[in-house]
Amino acid sequence: MRDKIVTLNGGLYYYIVDEVMKDRKIFAFAVQLDPNGQEFTNNCVIVEVKLKDKNVVFDNVNDEKLEEELGEIFANRQKKW
């Protein structure tokens, strides 16, 4: 899903920067785009990517410790680019 624009949180556009698998689950790091889907904003999220009824859905990561771990993983991966 990397390098894709998706709609999350009630119609907001997000650009999928990176994704990683942890504990047999897929997580994505996404940056919110402006309402026109053209420019990056300062808002970002980490979401779990799931397949439901043949559709890709995104769930919030509600575990604070897991979110911190994933944040570190994504930050370290960005440093390598």
Q: 28 burial class (0-12, 13-18, 19+ CB within 10 angstroms)?
A: buried
Which residues of the chain carry a pLDDT beneath 50? none
| Residue 46, number of CB atoms within 10 A of its CB | 20
pTM for this model (two decimals): 0.88
Residue with tokens 């440093």: 79
pLDDT at 26: 96
pLDDT at 81: 66
Domain spans, the chain: 5-80
> Do strands 25-33 and 12-22 pair parallel, antiparallel, or not at all (unpaired)?
antiparallel
